[in-house]
């Protein structure tokens, strides 16, 4: 079924850059699996929604703020391809007032506005520091009651911002062929796309610069696996391809593009009509002159058929049967699990690790979402259903043996804590997905609070017997709508492995591992999310997930063992 459904997309392959062969890369894409042989546990911590420049751009030695091409790619353009005079803002803490006006502009309809922000990247912390009380409650955020943020002084601490659109076709439009100059034009959040954090104020930065910190590598050229948002990139993480829609696509789910490949008419700078911003790819062929993926594939958020899902009436993706890394690991007898914050509550696993809803008869956790609960199924307001990629697959449906691999984040923490007397009790492969309150996602989570949780997870591992032979990969599912100055493969002069699904914007990634050649190294080898799959496959002797999937040709993460100590490092 899966192979047959791929056929419509093949009609477009002549118009879409093909996956580049390994011979074109000029290197062995495996990068020596023997270098991974001393690693017995791989842990992937999958955070949310930040570009590299937005979060790690101020880390010493990296190609970040002020790096090559930074200035030349930072000026954002209008629909007429002229520089914007200033950046429109909608976050209530970035508008004028409360901030002073320094420039003027007009939106797509010619309406005038004032702004505090000229057409350039800006530091978010200057206006919304970590101490700002700009975060909503889980109920407010989970019910989308605060789309433009909480005024400082009236919310919870944490320095939260509003959310930014991050969808499949929009991101490709934003690249503008590698110029990286249409992030503002193609966004619902306007100028917030150009904001970045002071890297050196982040808890993760402080942790990795304190005395006795674990050896780590910054991945300087790591891209999100697919264009767009969390749903698709979670699928890429476990299956290396976009999921097919196994059935007749309802009309309301089908994307309709304009002649620029754009699907939305509601954004402040971009004017269009006759479009539909759907969950499924556009019909083949796409508009003339537009080279984008088409056919029957889910690329934007859609719910799983199996519980947990956001509501009974939500549009759902028919169950998937294409191969996943979980299938490969299970067939080889290799232990693994997907550990998700809030899973026991949402799935109704009463009494399991992470369960916080008592004995009933109702759900008792204060963050339980009563609009989607029926004891013992008690999802948190900020439990993200589309962040559970295995739940979309028939092999992991409720009642199947595969379901046992879907567990709560607390089970992972318990295993790390139980690793004593030189024995690590972690699975060979662990995927860890924090709950919404702790995953760093703009709009409903606090960046510094989420970074604190990340540090806690790393300390659980580093304080256990697992530290000696565990590789931890910390990465982000996607860019969250935020600008980065480096064009991804397939755009501009970046010609590494790519296909019709991606990769997309560069994202923050670090590797914590023993046997690095220094306490801080910068790995400049090109990677994307499928490199995580390649690393797992090479370490445990598994094949790629398909004949044309990128995990078969990308660099794996053994390149970190070739990187040397950063010469400017002054940390402990």
- pLDDT at 25 (0 to 100): 28
Residue 40 lies in a domain: yes
C-alpha distances (whole Å) from 369 to each of 303, 343, 395, 563 are 17, 14, 28, 46
Taking the chain (572 residues) in runs of 10, the rounded mean pLDDT of each run is 30 32 30 76 98 98 95 97 98 98 97 98 98 97 94 97 98 97 98 98 97 95 98 98 96 95 98 97 93 96 98 97 98 98 98 97 97 97 98 98 98 92 93 97 96 97 94 98 96 85 98 94 97 98 96 96 80 47
Contact 224, 502 (CB under 8 A): yes
Contact 409, 343 (CB under 8 A): yes
- Residues 415 and 154: their CA atoms lie apart, in Å, by 39
- pLDDT at 7 (0 to 100): 32
Residue 315 lies in a domain: yes
Q: Kind of pairing, strands 195-196 and 216-219? A: unpaired
Residue 459 lies in a domain: no
- Residues 54 and 547: their CA atoms lie apart, in Å, by 35
The reply to whether omega before 60 is within 30° of 0 (cis) is: no
- Residues 291 and 553: their CA atoms lie apart, in Å, by 23
Per DSSP, the three-state class of 24 is helix
Strand partners, 470: 41
Contact 524, 62 (CB under 8 A): no
- Residues 95 and 77: their CA atoms lie apart, in Å, by 20
Q: Which residues contact 307 (CB under 8 A, 6 or more apart)?
A: 347, 348, 377, 398
- pLDDT at 421 (0 to 100): 78
Residue 531 lies in a domain: no
Per DSSP, the three-state class of 334 is coil
Contact 40, 519 (CB under 8 A): no
Per DSSP, the three-state class of 304 is strand
Q: How many domains does the chain have?
A: 1
Residue 225 lies in a domain: yes
Range of the structural domain that residue 204 is part of: 2-446+477-502+540-561
Contact 135, 113 (CB under 8 A): no
Residue 402 lies in a domain: yes
3-state helix, strand, coil in the chain (%, to 5): 25, 15, 55
- Residues 92 and 97: their CA atoms lie apart, in Å, by 9
- pLDDT at 473 (0 to 100): 98
- pLDDT at 180 (0 to 100): 97
- Residues 501 and 299: their CA atoms lie apart, in Å, by 9
- pLDDT at 420 (0 to 100): 74
- pLDDT at 21 (0 to 100): 29
In this structure, how many other beta carbons lie within 10 angstroms of the beta carbon of residue 417?
A: 12
- Residues 185 and 108: their CA atoms lie apart, in Å, by 10
Residue 458 lies in a domain: no
Contact 167, 278 (CB under 8 A): no
Residue 513 lies in a domain: no
Question: How big is the CA angle at 453 (ends 448 and 458), to the nearest 5 degrees?
Answer: 120
């Amino acid at each position: 079924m899966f192979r047959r459904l791929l056929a419509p997309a093949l009609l477009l392959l002549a118009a879409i850059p093909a996956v580049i062969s390994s011979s074109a890369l000029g290197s062995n894409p495996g990068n020596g699996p023997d270098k991974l042989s001393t690693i017995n546990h791989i842990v992937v911590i999958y955070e949310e929604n930040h570009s590299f420049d937005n979060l790690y751009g101020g880390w010493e030695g990296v190609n970040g703020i002020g790096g090559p091409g930074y200035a030349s790619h930072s000026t954002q353009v209008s629909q007429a391809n002229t520089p914007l005079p200033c950046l429109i803002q909608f976050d209530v803490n970035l508008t004028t007032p409360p901030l002073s006006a320094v420039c003027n502009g007009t939106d797509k309809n010619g309406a005038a506005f004032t702004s505090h922000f000229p057409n350039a990247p800006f530091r978010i912390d200057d206006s919304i520091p970590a101490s700002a009380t700009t975060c909503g409650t889980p109920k407010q955020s989970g019910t989308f009651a605060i789309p433009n943020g909480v005024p400082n002084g009236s919310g919870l601490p944490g320095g939260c911002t509003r959310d930014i659109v991050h969808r499949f076709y929009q991101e490709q439009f934003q690249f503008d062929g590698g110029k990286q100059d249409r992030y503002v034009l193609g966004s619902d959040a306007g100028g917030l796309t150009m904001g970045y954090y002071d890297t050196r104020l982040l808890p993760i930065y402080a942790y990795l610069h304190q005395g006795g910190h674990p050896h780590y590598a910054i991945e300087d050229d790591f891209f999100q696996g697919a264009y767009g948002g969390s749903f698709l990139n979670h699928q890429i993480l476990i299956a290396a391809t976009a999921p097919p829609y196994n059935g007749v696509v309802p009309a309301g789910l089908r994307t309709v593009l304009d002649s620029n490949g754009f699907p939305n008419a509601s954004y402040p700078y971009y004017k269009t009509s006759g479009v539909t911003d759907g969950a499924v790819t556009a019909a083949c062929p796409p508009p003339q002159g537009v080279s984008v993926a088409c056919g029957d594939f889910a690329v934007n958020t859609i719910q799983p058929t199996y519980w947990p899902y956001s509501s009974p009436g939500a549009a759902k993706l028919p169950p998937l049967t294409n191969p996943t890394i979980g299938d490969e690991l299970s067939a080889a007898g290799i232990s693994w699990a997907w550990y998700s914050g809030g899973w026991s509550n949402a799935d109704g696993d009463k009494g399991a690790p992470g369960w916080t809803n008592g004995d009933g008869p109702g759900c008792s956790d204060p963050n339980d979402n009563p609009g989607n609960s029926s004891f013992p199924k008690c999802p948190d307001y900020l439990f993200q259903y589309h962040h559970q990629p295995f739940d979309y697959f028939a092999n992991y449906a409720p009642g199947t043996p595969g379901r046992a691999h879907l567990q709560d984040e607390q089970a992972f923490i318990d295993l790390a804590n139980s690793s004593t007397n030189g024995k690590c009790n972690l699975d060979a492969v662990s995927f860890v997905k924090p709950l919404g309150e702790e995953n760093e996602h703009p709009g409903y989570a606090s960046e510094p609070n989420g970074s604190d949780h990340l540090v806690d997870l790393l300390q659980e591992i580093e304080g256990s017997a697992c530290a000696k032979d565990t590789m931890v990969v910390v990465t982000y599912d996607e860019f969250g709508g935020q600008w980065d100055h480096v064009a991804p493969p397939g755009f501009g002069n970046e010609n590494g492995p790519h296909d019709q699904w991606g990769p997309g914007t560069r994202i923050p990634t670090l590797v914590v591992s023993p046997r690095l050649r220094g306490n801080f190294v910068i790995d400049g080898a090109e990677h994307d999310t499928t490199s995580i799959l390649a690393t797992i496959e090479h370490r445990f002797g598994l094949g790629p997930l398909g004949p044309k999937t990128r995990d078969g040709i990308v660099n794996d993460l053994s390149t970190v063992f070739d990187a040397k100590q950063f010469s400017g490092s002054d940390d402990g």
